[in-house]
Structure 1
């Protein structure tokens, strides 16, 4: 399959993909706040700069995009047809970095969890997921 967009245009489009304050991240933040949970955002002093940090519970949450972070068995984690070697290498590095950050956080005594982009679509399910994370901490 041929890309119908020029390489320059594709590069520009990909450069616009946000790393912080994404829609899935904001969904998690709004729900956590509504649940009465207080958190810090993107703490630079922690490995991987977790998206949400709950210091009281020593919990670090990453809200990962399914495409970029390769959510297993998720349809959103499809691979581009063009430049497949480039993308495969990029995705592997992302997954390795994610795992390393989680291991480093756990070594520092933090519980590190991932919420996937597709898990933020259903507010009721997301609420149950957050509640289960914090029930374990009580």
Structure 2
């Protein structure tokens, strides 16, 4: 049984919109990469040999940075992380799996001796918040500027 024509067109529009969401090279990721590069650091991207394929890998510093979307990775307390009201039986478990997978990857990386940092999408939207987050991750570099 199918829904009304309006429901079907809404589902098609949502499907089209969701298919355009990128996994790599997102706006938040590009913003943090530009900022780190401006500090003089060099890095590798999406190393497949590391748990969770970190977005930014700085092997010399044993540092990995995940750039997480607030919705997809359920940033606690963030307004961008609200769960959809439709298809809750799908979205609830899916988002919970994302959070669990993030925790597993971070734990495995820490166990292997890596420093793991997460920069949230909402932090990249406001330049002062991004600057504050970078000061937490790179205090010695920013103190010299």
Q: TM-score, normalised by structure 2?
A: 0.86
Specify the SS of the correspondent of 2:41.
coil
Corresponding position: 1:116 with 2:127: no
2:90 to 53, 64, 86: 86
Please, which of 126, 130, 133 is the counterpart of residue 130 of structure 2?
Answer: 126
Query: Where do residues 56-71 of structure 1 align in structure 2 (5 Å cutoff)?
Result: 56-71=60-75
Structure 1 position 35 matched with structure 2 position 36: no
1:94-136 Cα offsets, whole Å, 9 max, x none, are 0000000000101111011110000011223312322321237
Q: What is the rounded CA distance, in whole Å, between the counterparts of 1:94 and 1:34 in structure 2? A: 31
How far did 1:9 drift? Answer: 3.1
* Compared CA separation, residues 136 and 93, structure 1 to 2 (3 A): farther
Answer yes or no: is the 8 Å Cα contact 1:3–1:82 preserved in 2. Answer: no
Question: Alignment partner of 1:19: what SS?
Answer: coil
Instruction: Give 1:3 deviation, angstroms.
Output: 6.2
Q: CA distance change for structure 1 residues 115 and 12 in 2, over 3 Å: closer, same or farther?
A: same
Alignment partners' CA distance in 2, 1:118 and 1:37: 23
TM-score (norm 1): 0.90
Distance 1:20 1:136 in 2: 29
Question: Which 5+ residue runs of structure 1 have no aligned equivalent?
Answer: none
Q: What is aligned with 1:97?
A: 101
Alignment length, in residue pairs? 136
Query: Which structure's relative contact order is higher, taking Cα pairs within 8 Å and 6+ residues apart?
Result: 1
Q: Answer yes or no: is 1:15 the counterpart of 2:19.
A: yes
For residues 25 and 67 of structure 1, the distance between their equivalents in structure 2, rounded to whole angstroms, comes to 15
Structure 2, unmatched stretches of 5+, are 1-5
Q: What RMSD, in angstroms, separates the aligned Cα atoms of the two structures?
A: 1.9
- Please state if 1:106 is matched with 2:94: no
